[in-house]
Structure 1
Amino acid sequence: MKIVILGAGVIGVTSAWYLSQAGHEVVVLDRQPAPARETSFANAGEVSPGYSAPWAAPGIPLKAMKWMFQKHAPLVVGLRPDVAKLSWLARMLANCTPEAYKANKARMVRLAEYSRDCLEGLRSETGIAYDERTQGTLQLFRTEAQVEAAGKDIAVLREGGVAFEVLDAEGCRAAEPGLRAARGPIAGGLRLPGDETGDCFKFTTRLADLAAAQGVEFRWGVGVERLVVEGGRVRGAVTSEGIVTGDAVVVALGSYSPALVKGLGLDLPVYPVKGYSLTLPVVDEALAPVSTVMDETHKVAITRLGDRIRVGGLAEIAGFDLSLKAARRATLEHSLGGLFGGAGDLSRVEFWCGLRPMTPDGTPVVGRTPVPGLFLNTGHGTLGWTMAAGSGRVLADIVSGRRSEIETADLGIARYGREAGRAGTLVPARA
């Protein structure tokens, strides 16, 4: 089949790779001049299946209220009225129950663990290099309350067979020697030795080159306007350079996916949650992180990428605003300085932000839709890099009609019930 993929971030490119490997003709469209120029450009650098967890969790509503009055809050909710935002927040709050959290986390860990395995296989098969390290993630707790709260996550990890280590303060310093110079208390940590790190931008760019060498066609600078529907089936897309047709279309446009499919009667509950990052060169190896340290207090990840440090995180729920806020930069620098002060050169820092496409339950939407010929691979939130390879492989299996190696029935838009789509409302697109 000829497959048209909309979007060339890490999700679109991995989808293209696996669909091509499955024998399909693949065309990828993106409005940027090259791959991974938006949300995949400078994320936190974590490939963290063990840290895969929904933001919707018991206690989050109360924590969110407290965060509103903190200087270095991990979550900021914009006050500007937005119907889509309010609807998404209501759905997210509905998932803040112990039962929903357990089910959502288990589903996310399943996909993320599979994705890590797929990434390992892809790396072995192609020799692709992207400043990767396979030295785990350390979730760092500064208070005893955080240590105790980790119990529910540990239970899910144990149930899912995910390797982990519970560390005391000295164990954390042994795993990450740079923490010996950290300011403030360290109460303990949860180490996930199966996690990895790497530069998502480098990976996506190099995989796109490999895919192109295998016959995948990439068309850059092409804006997507709407989908083409003929005979009740999606047949392509109307773009800034005319109509591009195929036997099936994969929407991998991140936060911009809902607007495109809304006209087909699909209610895709994905909302942009802005994250920020700093990238700076290492100047003192002894003080720098070895792999990734997740600062649980500020929800900030500090990751080693070759001779650089990437500091990423925070969540700003403010629509499609891409402005860089000085207060968010201050929080990232505060977290870095408290744990790895002096490790990097802040005078040469690159400050960046991107829009993470979040679902209310934390799990991405991967698979077919009620509309024939239309498939989705979007809504990965903070875990796009972590889940990219597995999502691409699963999507290729579903499109190809093959049985996937993991359960996929609960990954699609159908899990949101009848409200998710009404395929009878299709309107043909005009040239």
Structure 2
Amino acid sequence: MKIIILGSGVVGVTSAWYLAQAGHEVTVIDRQPGPGLETSFANAGQVSPGYSSPWAGPGVPLKAIRWLMMKNRPFVFWPMPDPKQWRWLAQMLENCTTAAYDRNKGRMVRLAEYSRDVLRDLRATTGISYDDRQQGTLQVFRTRKQLDHIADDTRILDRYGVPYDLLDPAACVRAEPGLAQAEGKIVGGLRLPGDETGDAFQFTQNLAALAVRQGVTFLYNSTIRSLQRDGARISAVVTDTGTYQADAYVLSLGSFSPAMVLALGLDLPIYPIKGYSITAPIVDAARAPVSTVMDETFKIAITRLGDRIRVGGTAELAGFSTSLRAPRRATLEHSLTDLFAGAGDVPAATFWTGLRPMTPDGTPIVGRTDIGNLFLNTGHGTLGWTMACGSGRVLADVMSGRTPDIAHDDLALSRYRA
């Protein structure tokens, strides 16, 4: 089968890889000059199945109000005269119940755990490298209240057999020696030994190169204008460099996915949530993190990537703005210097922002649509790197007529009609 994938981020490239492995003829189209140059470029670096959680949950509306009042706030809201923004917020609020949180986290953990296993297989069979480490994730709590509420998450981890350790401050330092100078600032932690880290951009670039050797064609510098529909099927994709036809089409355009299919009658509940990161050279390896440390108070991930420290976080609702705001950098720098003082050259850090394609329930949209030959693999939010291999493999199985290794019906767009 001839397949066209729209988008060459980490999700589009992994989709291309697994579809090519299944024997299909695959072409990837993207407006950028290469793969992984947008949301995949400088994310937090986590492959964190155990930390896969929906943003919508019990108590989140009140927490969001408190976050807005913080100096180094993890949540920023710019109200806009945009019905899509307000509709998405309303849908997210509908998911702020205990039942919805359990359901959403359960399917996110299921896909993320599977994705981590698929990534391990890929690494073993191809030897792909990307500043990867397999040394777990440590979520640190600065307040007793945060620690007391961890049972909401461990209950789901227990259900899916995800290993974890609850640590006191001293044990946190044993797991991450760079925290020694900050031990008095934390009350405990949750360690997820099965989580991994790595540079998503390096991974995407290297996997795209491997995909080319498998026969995948990449058409870069091609802006996608529209999808042409002929009855119940897509007949072509129109770009500024030409019109291309295939037997099937995969939409992996992240935050830009909804606009591409709105005229086709598909309503994708995806909204861009802006995230920021800084990347600092390591100047004292002994003070740097070993793997990823999640600062629960500021919702920030601090990750070791080779000789660099990546610090990522913040949820900013600002439409499609990609402006770099100094206060957001200050928050990232504060978390890094407060927990790992002296580890990185903060003044020399590069500053980046990207648009995360977020669904109201936190789960990506993977699978079929009502249009017979149009498939979706989009809406991964902050977890595109964590879930990319798993969702790419699930999609390839669905499109190839095979039964995926995990339950997948509740990942499709049809769940929003339920």
TM range (shorter): over 0.9
Count of aligned residue pairs for this structure pair: 418
- Give the equivalent residue in structure 2 for 1:381: 381
* 1:119-138 alignment runs, 5 A limit: 119-138=119-138
**Contact 1:57–1:97 under 8 Å retained in 2:** yes
Write the distance in 2 (CA, Å) between the matches of 1:269 and 1:330: 31
* Residues 137-188 of structure 1: CA deviation (Å, up to 9, x unaligned): 0010011000011111011101110000000111101100000012752100
Change (3 A) 1:155 1:183: closer
How far the C-alpha of 1:80 sits from its partner, in A, is: 2.3
Cα displacement string for residues 347-400 of structure 1 (whole angstroms, at most 9, x for unaligned residues): 211000000000000000000101111000000000000000000000101111
Aligned partners of 2:392 and 2:79: how far apart in 1?
A: 36
SS at match of 1:182: helix
Structure 1 residues 34-183: aligned runs within 5 Å: 34-182=34-182
Residue 233 of structure 1 aligns with which residue? 233
Counterpart for residue 33 of structure 1: 33
* Preserved contact between residue 140 and residue 294 of structure 2 (Cα < 8 Å): yes
Distance 1:232 1:90 in 2: 31
Letter in 2 for 1:294: M
- How big is the shift at 1:66? 1.1
How far does the alpha carbon of each residue in 1:288-310 deviate from its partner, in whole angstroms, 9 at most, with x for none? 00000000000000000001000
- Output the CA distance in 1 between the equivalents of 2:111 and 2:22: 20
What does residue range 216-295 of structure 1 map to in structure 2 within 5 Å? 216-295=216-295
Q: Is contact 1:44-1:311 (8 Å) kept?
A: yes
Task: Give the deviation of 1:229 after TM superposition.
Answer: 1.4
Q: Deviations over 1:92-146 (max 9, x none)?
A: 0000000000000000000000000000000001000000000000010011000
Query: Identity of aligned pairs, percent?
Result: 63
Which residue identity lines up with residue 262 of structure 1 in the other structure? L
Cα distance between partner residues in 1 of 2:52 and 2:79: 28
Aligned residue in 2 for 1:410: 410
Question: Which residue identity does 1:23 align to in structure 2?
Answer: G
**Alignment partner, residue 333 of structure 1:** 333
Contact 1:53 1:362 in 2 (8 A): yes
CA offsets, 1:254-290, max 9 Å, x none? 0000000111111100000000000011000111000
The CA deviation string for residues 385-423 of structure 1, in whole angstroms up to 9 with x for no partner, is 0000000000101111110000000000000007xxxxx
Question: Using the alignment, how far apart are the partners of 2:320 and 2:246 within structure 1?
Answer: 30
Q: Secondary structure of 1:243's partner?
A: strand
Q: For residues 320 and 55 of structure 2, what CA distance do their matches in structure 1 show?
A: 20
2:185 alignment partner, SS class: coil
The TM-score, its normalising length taken from structure 1, stands at 0.96
Unaligned stretches of 5+ residues in structure 2: none
Task: Name 1:429's counterpart in structure 2.
Answer: none
Secondary structure of 2:156's counterpart equals: helix
Shift of 1:81: 2.1
4+ runs of 1 displaced by more than 3 Å? none
State the distance in 2 between where 1:260 and 1:402 align. Answer: 28
Paired residue secondary structure (2:264)? coil
Is 1:363 aligned to 2:363, yes or no? yes
Q: Indicate the larger mover: 342-351 or 105-114.
A: 342-351
Indicate the SS of the match to 2:133. coil
Give the residue type in structure 2 aligned to 1:35. Answer: P
* Contact 1:183–1:338 (8 Å) recurs in 2: no
- Structure 2 distance, partners of 1:88, 1:183, is 39
What SS class does the counterpart of residue 210 from structure 2 fall into?
A: helix
* Residues 118 and 389, structure 1, Cα contact 8 Å, conserved in 2: yes
What value does the CA root-mean-square deviation take over the aligned residues? 0.8
Report the alpha carbon displacement of residue 232 of structure 1 after superposing the two structures with TM.
2.2
Cα distance between partner residues in 2 of 1:76 and 1:250: 32
Deviation at 1:67, TM superposition (A): 1.3
Structure 1 letter corresponding to 2:57: A
Alignment partner of 1:72: what SS?
coil
Give the partner amino acid of 2:219: R
Which amino acid is 1:314 matched to?
A: T
CA contact (8 A) 1:235 1:249 kept: no
What residue identity is the alignment partner of 1:29?
I
- Report the alpha carbon displacement of residue 9 of structure 1 after superposing the two structures with TM: 0.2
Cα pair 2:234 2:371 within 8 Å, conserved: yes
Supply the distance in 2 between the matched residues of 1:267 and 1:294 (Cα, whole angstroms).
34
Matches of 1:106 and 1:350, distance apart in 2: 35
Deviations 1:309-358 (A, max 9, x none): 00001100111000000000000000001100110001211000000000
> For the Cα contact (< 8 Å) 1:68–1:76, is it kept in 2?
yes
